[in-house]
Chain A
Amino acid sequence: MKNKSIIAVATMLGIFNVATAGNIKVVTTTTDLKSITELVGGNKVSVSSIATGYQNPHFVDPKPSYIISLSNANLFVTVGLDLETGWSPQLLTSSRNPKIQKGSPGYVDASEGIGLMQVPGSLNRGEGDIHIYGNPHYWLDPLNGKVIARNIADGLERIDPSNKTFYETNLQAFYKKINDKMAEWQMKMAPYKGSKIIAYHNEWCYFERRFGLEIVDFMEPKPGIPPSPSQLVKVIKEVAANHIKVIVSSPYFTTSSSDVVAKQTGVKELTLATSTNAFDGIKDYFDLFDYDINQLLTVLK
């Protein structure tokens, strides 16, 4: 009897081992996290992202269909800092998956250790949609990509320690590629250091800092508030006064208001990618910066 139960337990453990050794199922909130997880996890992981690359990550609809993949996931990776506060906590609770709840080994907050910008001293919603922990669009600085990758590697190593060396090797390769690409991107952008631009939404501060741009104003009068006529007048004046060459927007905003400014001033409009897969050809995290920088160069020249 005892022997039988030992065999039974051993078989169960065996099955469990087989199940975890093959594919680590990872669900990420955004496509950038998906791309970095794939680069670090290699063939040990299968990753799906809830948001698409061309979607506003603040406003993802918490469709029950996402719960299916979450309920089977071994690891959950989130941008954090209340970027996904309107949808991911609800999906996590509904997933009934204790492995990926906040505080569990399978929960990765990619923002751990990021040097945050625009952390508010006080909170007043009269200032629009402001983020209590700071601006959450930090993945748009490639050097922050390293911190994200470190956090993801830590998560993978927590739940799959047997492949630690594998993940560490991939992580080093990722660091190296970021360093190499960074040199290339910095060189390309160097001649345009200090270029003044207008942005639609306050989501470019990390990118702005890294590549030496200067965002003069936003199309939105306050974060999350659609452009008003008075704001358009203000922006038109600023474009003329500062010889601004470009208005930078994202795939999920309408261009109607920037069209007005462009018509009045001749400023160019540019829809940049805010995430991997925003447009065809942006297949990974590196493509994202290649695309955005090449696009910017065409208008800043």
Chain B
Amino acid sequence: MFATLFQNLKFKNYALQRVILKSKKLILLLWVMFTSILLNAQVVKDSTAIADSMLLKQIELQMQNNTQPAPAQTRSGLSANPDIGVIGDFQLSYISKGKKNIDAYLNETEVSFQAVVDPYIRADFFVSFGRDDATGKYGVEVEEGYLTSLSLPARLQLKAGKFKEAVGRINPTHAHALPFIDLPNAYVNYFGSGLNDEGLSLSWLLPNKKFYQELVVQGTSGRGESPSFKQSEGNRFIYLAHLKNFFTLNDNATLELGLTGISGPNDSARVTNIAAGDLTYKWKPVKMNTYRSLTWQSEFYYSNAAYTSDLSKNSMGLYSFIDYQVAKRWFLTGRYDYAQKPFDKKIIEQAYSLTAGWNATEFSKMEIEAKTTDDNVQSRYYQAWLRWIFVIGAHGAHQY
């Protein structure tokens, strides 16, 4: 019994010694911190005195010049909450083939939370309540959730989290902001509902004073699955590079040319490479920009997917649309789609669609779209949609 007690004591002693040793380090650390704070505080104290006298002078000066009465009313609605917005997307759809031709559904409910976190970063979250096509049930998904750096040097900007990747023009845009209801066939073939993945994104604003040039490099895990890319069982990631060139042609017209390269693991545990290009011409008369505008936007995709060691498939696809603002609230969009199936480029889809949009206000719009699709395997079919987008709460700006 004594022996165990002794042992315990010894053990406790040992533990105590460790604690003392640790606390010595801690005390040293605290002392260093304390003195440094003290030193700093002294510096601050001096500068405070100067700042105080400067402030006094400034106030005196302001008092002399202040001819303006004090604000009659205080500002309202100040809070530390992030900007919160909810976007509803209700749709009716028709398709000429299959058993179920007509459907009505709340396609998506997107809740956004956006705010600056601290002087170094801002955060953007988009939570989506979407309908699962197979089960018809609603599921919750973090559509995007990322931080953006605000104060990196050398014109760099870092994004970390889950985000829509920088493939041309359609992929980074939220569906409700597109001037049509469906997505282009070629885009769907390669990216499904979108290349939206988890990882890091670094963008660099090139020191070019003549025109805007931005290089984006992204590395993601592949967790956000798409038809072209899957998460690898090993340590392979999806890498993307996008170069954006933006030219101001004159006060009313701009041109954007983008080049993208993506490489990553596919569902055959091999590599898919995609090259893409986008070209956008915009005309918006500065004086009457809320009444008339025109956008001509096209994207081209080329894919090379390896399935086995000696089998790889090449395919390509493109879309091109013209969106014309007919009047202050009316838009017309015509689009052409060309898409080779990634697994067999001999199967070619071609589609034409026309969308009419009515933007009631900045916070609600209604669109109607008709589309015809031809391919060389099945007979022609027709589709139509009606979409009603409505926003409550805060709504951030869209990209130009």
Contact = CB atoms under 8 A, between A and B. Distances in A.
A251 B287 contact: yes
A170 to B, nearest CB: 13
A98 to B, nearest CB: 4
Given A98-B150, A146-B67, A90 B362 contact: no
Given A93-B122, A93-B150, A226-B328, A252 B362 contact: no
Contact of A254 (B157, B248, B256, B288): B288
A61 B329 contact: no
Given A54-B287, A59-B290, A125-B363, A119 B73 contact: yes
Given A56-B290, A254-B288, A65 B254 contact: yes
B150 A115 contact: no
B75 A52 contact: no
Interface stretch (A20-28, A34-42, A127-135, A289-297): A127-135
Contacts of B212: 64-65, 67-68
Contact of A64 (B75, B362, B400): B400
Contact of B248 (A65, A96, A128, A252): A65
Given A55-B287, A63-B248, A115 B72 contact: yes
A274 B209 CA distance: 31
Most B CB atoms within 10 A — which of A59, A61, A102, A113? A61
Contacts of A61: 284, 289, 400
A232 interface: no
A96 B329 contact: no
B308 interface: no
B155 A71 contact: yes
B279 to A, nearest CB: 15
Interface string A79-90: 000000111011
Interface in B46-78: 61-62, 65, 67-77
Interface residues of A, number: 55
Chain B contact residues: helix, strand, loop or mixed:
loop
Contact of A103 (B119, B246, B251): B119
B151 interface: yes
Interface in A87-113: 87, 89-90, 93-94, 96, 98, 101-104, 113
Contacts of A90: 396-397, 399
A56 B246 CA distance: 23
Contacts of B288: 252, 254
Given A54-B287, A64-B212, A93-B148, A129 B362 contact: yes
Given A114-B71, A115-B70, A120-B76, A56 B289 contact: yes
B205 interface: yes
A159 interface: no
Given A120-B76, A251-B287, A113 B71 contact: yes
B294 to A, nearest CB: 13
B72 A133 contact: no
Given A68-B208, A226-B329, 8 more contacts: A62-B397, A65-B246, A65-B254, A86-B362, A104-B119, A116-B72, A125-B361, A143-B68
Interface of B: 61-62, 65, 67-77, 116, 119, 122, 148, 150-152, 155-157, 205, 208-209, 211-212, 214, 244, 246, 248, 251, 254, 256, 284, 286-291, 328-329, 361-363, 392, 396-397, 399-400
